Amino acid sequence: MKHFDTAKPMPAIFDDLRTILVVHRSGSMAEAARTLGVTPSTVSRQVSRLREILGFYPFVKADGNWRLNPMLLKLVDAFETAEGLVASELRRLNHQDPDLKREVKIAGPASIISHVLIPACPDIMRDHPQVVPVFERRLNAEGLGLHDVVIAFQPPGAGRFKIRRCAKFDYALYAPEGWEKGDGWITLIDKFAADHTADAERFFGRAPSLKTDSFDQAIRAMHRLNLAGALPLAVAQNAPGLKRLEARNLEVSRDLFVIHHESRSSDPDIRATVNWVMQCLEGMTDSNPASAKDG
């Protein structure tokens, strides 16, 4: 293994480590390039340059994704922590300017963003006008990726994260008012709903008529094609004209976690955003859809 002189200025290795961190978070050099606003060849060149410095390749290929070489875990963790501390300190200094807007990147399931967080945005805009929420759909991915706050159905397996279990996300079966058992049904694509498809097929007595990748698309199809389907209660309450079916054994409840890096704990904008997200998610249990009647 080569050794580099730590007494020398190291702006280049900081840039390379930033790239390594982005590839590590995304699992893809192409995605890292998109995020960094550079070409994939630039990412590849920086990875190769760090390989020359370290004397070993920073990544190993596993399951189609680039996984960080275990030898680099502590170095990248230290870099990520340092980056978070610098970001928090900059935000603290900027916090003195009440007119300065600061983005906070929030990732989570599209249904939660669309039906829980966005309707509650007036609250954070009123209480913390300096915070600009930036939402991105993200499901079944590990860690924070490139986001400040993540809402996930499972906590990350490792890393210096602050993790808070905050709420249950409940699902039930719904159908248009004129639907009768024996009519068709819709489900999400296998990537999201494969674990529940077999039980639903037994309940409906047939294979699904349609599959889609979002609940908003499912609702449109349910109304237009007279189909039944599973919906989160938080989504169903914004979808009038649907009845809740009597299928308690098919109802699902999943834990929700709010995650941020521990180095951002002193960041006032992150604290404000996490508290707001927690309040929004905890409030879901107080808003069971009155319009979704048991059928």
| pLDDT, tens digit (0-9, with 9 covering 90-100), for 166-190 | 889 999 999 999 999 889 999 999 9
Residue 138, pLDDT above cutoff 90: no
Residue 230: is its pLDDT beyond 50?
yes
Which token pair is 200? 């639903």
Q: How far is residue 82 from each of residues 186, 249, 266, measured CA to CA in Å?
A: 47, 48, 13
pLDDT above 50: residue 294 = no
What structural domains does the chain harbor? 1-100 (1.10.10.10), 101-295 (3.40.190.290)
**pLDDT over 50 (residue 229):** yes
Kindly report which listed range (48-57, 193-202, 257-266, 280-289) carries the lowest average pLDDT score: 280-289
**What is the rounded CA–CA span in Å between residue 5 and residue 244?**
66
- Confidence class of residue 150 from pLDDT cuts 50, 70 and 90? very high
Q: With a cut of 60, say whether residue 6 has pLDDT above it.
A: no
- The chain-wide mean pLDDT, for the chain, equals 84
160: confidence class by pLDDT, cuts 50, 70, 90: confident
pLDDT score recorded for residue 49: 86
pLDDT higher at 96 or 221: 221
| Chain segment 89-128, per-residue pLDDT in tens | 777 776 666 678 889 999 999 999 999 999 999 999 999 9
pLDDT, tens only, 27-84: 788 888 887 889 989 998 888 888 888 888 888 877 777 888 888 888 888 887 887 7
Task: Check residues 133 and 66 and name the one with the higher pLDDT.
Answer: 133
Strand partners, 176: 242
Most confident of 32-36, 60-64, 233-237, 260-264: 233-237
